[in-house]
Amino acid sequence: MCNKLNQKNVMTAPTPTGSLPPDFDKVLAPTPTLTLPPLAAVDRYLPYPLELEEKIRKSLRKGQVAFNVPERMSVGDTEEIEVKVTQNLDKKLNIQVKKGQKIERKTIDIYHNMKAELTGAGFNIKPLQEDDTFLVLEENVAAWSWAITPNKTGKQKLHLKINAKLKLDDSEITYNLQSLKRTIEVQFRRQKEGGRRQKGLTLKNVRLK
């Protein structure tokens, strides 16, 4: 009888006495989420600090650029790309184009010291003037040209960059005015029927000794 009584005393939880504190429900309530004010927007695409960017913009003026772009080319064939820039918005920039090329014109920011660069991994590109020369742009027309030869087939990209060489606060910087990307479809060169002819002979019929 005594063992059963002791077991009952051990297994039964004591009955709490008294009342719960008045703020008990607040203690168990979920902690409110802390809301922070939104961060100020930051332009991640400015290449220079905002103050310097404003100085650069004030030193630029409007002008126009024209350039020719071939729509299709063949591997091994060479064509000339020409770029012209002027500050005269009313002047028509004349560029000679071949069959299959088109001329594009665009209004851009310009500066009196400028340089154009043409690159493309799928092309052999040869400048037809001094590559590292910035041309002084006044009332004249600044012009650059390249001979391009595709070296592989497929959709190949040409990148044209027009940069300005600025002097601000006794320092000299290179500033990108315009970046353009164009895609050219490059195919294998088509052979004439019967093989390529040279000096009256058909190459496929010539036997090497």
The residues that bridge with 135 in the sheet, in sequence order, are: 114
pLDDT at 55: 84
Instruction: Break the chain into its structural domains and give their ranges.
Output: 50-187
pLDDT at 157: 96
- Tell me whether strands 171-187 and 72-74 are parallel, antiparallel or unpaired: parallel
Q: Which residues contact 116 (CB under 8 A, 6 or more apart)?
A: 83, 85, 144, 160, 161, 162, 163
pLDDT of the residue at 37: 44
The model's pTM is 0.67
Determine the pLDDT at residue 27. Answer: 52
Please state, in angstroms and rounded to a whole number, the distance separating the CA atoms of residues 189 and 153. Answer: 10
Digitized pLDDT (tens) for each residue of the chain, 209 residues in all: 545 545 545 455 555 555 555 555 555 555 555 454 443 333 334 567 888 888 888 889 999 999 999 999 999 999 999 999 999 999 889 998 888 899 999 999 999 889 999 999 999 999 998 766 788 776 788 999 999 999 999 999 999 999 998 887 778 888 999 999 999 999 998 765 555 544 433 333 333 33
* Multiple choice CATH, 50-187, 3.30.310.10, 3.30.1490.190, 3.30.390.30, 2.60.40.10: 2.60.40.10
Tokens found for residue 187: 């195919």
